[in-house]
A and B are shown apart, each in its own frame.
Chain A
Amino acid sequence: MRMSRRSLALLAAAFYLTAAGAADAYHTRFVATNCNYNDPQPTSYITRDGSTTVALRARFEGYQWAGGCWNDNDRDDSPGDPTEDPKTGGEGGDCSGFTFKVWREALSESDASFDQWNMLRFVHGPYTAARFKRGDGAPNTTVSKAAAIRMDAFASDSHIGLVYAANPDGSDQIIEAKGEAYGTNIWTRTYRGSSSYGGVRRIGWSS
């Protein structure tokens, strides 16, 4: 009986150490296996319909802190990543990386032209949500929340989401990379009425 208890204790300790080690070394191979650093394709225009299509390709995919690469298989290929860890190599963008890519922005903040990034191109861009909120960078500007329409954004100091559709009750359907536990999807949100959020617009829409 004594031996049995000791064995159980050893087994538990071994399990604990294994689990702790696995947690420390957590990473997925999604980025390493699937993503690339190819040059973007310059384009001469951006449309709200086209950007909506780009955004919807990321729907149901994952979320990765500091990330910016996803496929289009409608599932999170790296679920349960540790939060706020850029090294986990998981699928998805974070809120600002998702916005950067959908808005076809250039890596240089002084460049307002349009760069089409393939969804498997790993890129985040130089902007955080707080900087988007202030309209930082040549492609971005602030806009009144009342004037915000499809593919404009609402940004706070820590989050940004794109308008997918306005609801009759004043709320909006927002497409956003929400967090590790949620992935990227469309949710009904009340950012338009929240004092923490401001309106942001990518400049230069053709339609």
Chain B
Amino acid sequence: MSRRRRVLTVLASGLSLVGAACGHRPQPPIHLVDGSTADEVPVTLEGVDVPAVLNRTRVVDLARYADVRVTSCLRQRWSARIVARAAVVRIGTAGSSVTFGSPEGREIYGCDSSSGASRRTAWCGLAFGRRVGHRLSDPRLDLGGCRTREGHPIAFAWVEPGPRTRFVLVRRPSFAEVYEVAGDLPIRITTSDNVDVARSRARFPVSEHSSSGDLLRRYELDANVAG
């Protein structure tokens, strides 16, 4: 190979690397905070042009057995006198949560964590809300207590999905986090973006989708710590 050709080859390789670096988009997390691999979203979500990462969602029937995560949440953060029939455990990319309601469904309780919500979970946040007309009047934002591994604050808030909604999606910079509707309870969504601790608020770009993935509505939840 002539010297000129070698120089051209090295230059081309260099340019190729630079191009790859310039075109690099951060990869979405494929692992959830408990270390497990995120499942794929079972449908194509209309209007979503970034990779979608599915939260792991589990509905726990507390009348049948005591779930370790829910028990941990109840014992550490809430009084054991609270009686709940069902709870929803969600494991996401930035945090995990437990949500449960009083038997008549008027009061909603939650525990928030930045880790995988295991037996040894340190619940760094909690939330309490009251439903009026079967809907929460406030998303009950929780922030400041939970942090990512990098030290960024994590915000948690509830959304009440519409009647036809099967999936709730929160847009993150390089991906979308998808939550399945479950258990007739509000969905505890999570983000570490757009969290403004100084103003005690967080913004969640949200869209709601039907079971076939159709876009039902899109909005920005602008939540404040309150009450």
A102 to chain B, nearest CB (A): 16
A129 to B126, alpha carbons, bound, how many Å?
A: 11
Asked if A128 contacts B142 (CB within 8 A), the reply is: yes
Q: Is the C-beta of B41 less than 8 angstroms from some C-beta in chain A?
A: no
In the complex, A86 Cα to B223 Cα: how many Å? 8
Q: How far is the CA of A94 from the CA of B224 in the complex (A)?
A: 12
Give the segment of A3-11, A22-30, A51-59, A130-138 that binds chain B. A130-138
Partner of B226, one of A96, A136, A137: A96
Report whether over half of chain A's contact residues are helix, strand or loop; otherwise say mixed.
loop
Residues of A within 8 A of B142 (CB): 128, 131
* B residues near A136, Cβ cutoff 8 Å: 126, 145
Q: Nearest chain-A residue to B125 (Cβ)?
A: A131
Residues of B near A157 (CB, < 8 A) are 128
User: Complex formed: what's the CA distance from A126 to B140 in Å?
Assistant: 11
- Contact residue range for chain B? 20 to 34
Whether the pair A107, B197 counts as a contact (CB closer than 8 A) is: yes
A123 sits at the interface (CB 8 A): yes
Given contacts A126-B144, A128-B142, contact A134 B224 (CB under 8 A): no
CA distance A89 to B128 in the complex (A): 24
Chain B contacts for A95, CB-based, 8 A: 227
**Residues of A within 8 A of B (CB-CB), count:** 30
- Whether A130 touches B226, Cβ cut-off 8 Å, given contacts A84-B138, A109-B144, A136-B145, is no
From known contacts A66-B200, A107-B198, infer whether A128 and B128 are also in contact, taking CB-CB under 8 Å: yes
Does B56 sit at the interface, judged by CB under 8 A?
no
Contact (Cβ within 8 A) A108 B144: yes
Residues of A within 8 A of B71 (CB): none
Instruction: Tell me whether B187 is interfacial, beta carbon within 8 Å.
Output: no
Q: B172 on the interface (CB 8 Å rule)?
A: no
- The answer to whether A129 and B144 have CB atoms under 8 Å apart is no
Closest A residue by C-beta to B77: A134
**In this assembly, does A171 line the interface, its C-beta being within 8 Å of a C-beta of chain B?**
no
Are B197 and A126 in contact, CB atoms less than 8 angstroms apart?
yes
Is A86's CB under 8 angstroms from B126's CB? no
- Residues of chain B within 8 A (CB-CB) of A104 are none
Q: Answer yes or no: B31 CB below 8 A from chain A CBs.
A: no
- A86→B198 contact, CB < 8 A: no
The answer to whether the Cβ of A127 comes within 8 Å of any Cβ in the partner chain is: yes
The reply to whether A130 and B225 contact each other, CB–CB distance below 8 Å, is no
Partner of B227, one of A122, A126, A158: A158
The answer for the CA separation of A122 and B200 in the assembled complex, in Å, is 10
**Are the C-beta atoms of B225 and A126 separated by less than 8 Å?**
yes
Taking Cβ atoms with an 8 Å cutoff, the residues of B that contact A are 77, 125-128, 130, 137-138, 140, 142-145, 197-200, 222, 224-227
**Known A86-B226, A96-B227, A107-B198; further 17 A-B contacts with Cβ < 8 A:** A37-B199, A66-B200, A66-B224, A66-B226, A107-B144, A108-B144, A109-B144, A123-B200, A124-B199, A130-B127, A131-B125, A131-B126, A131-B145, A136-B145, A137-B144, A137-B145, A158-B128
Which A residues fall within an 8 A CB radius of B?
37, 65-66, 83-84, 86-87, 94-97, 107-109, 122-131, 134, 136-137, 157-159
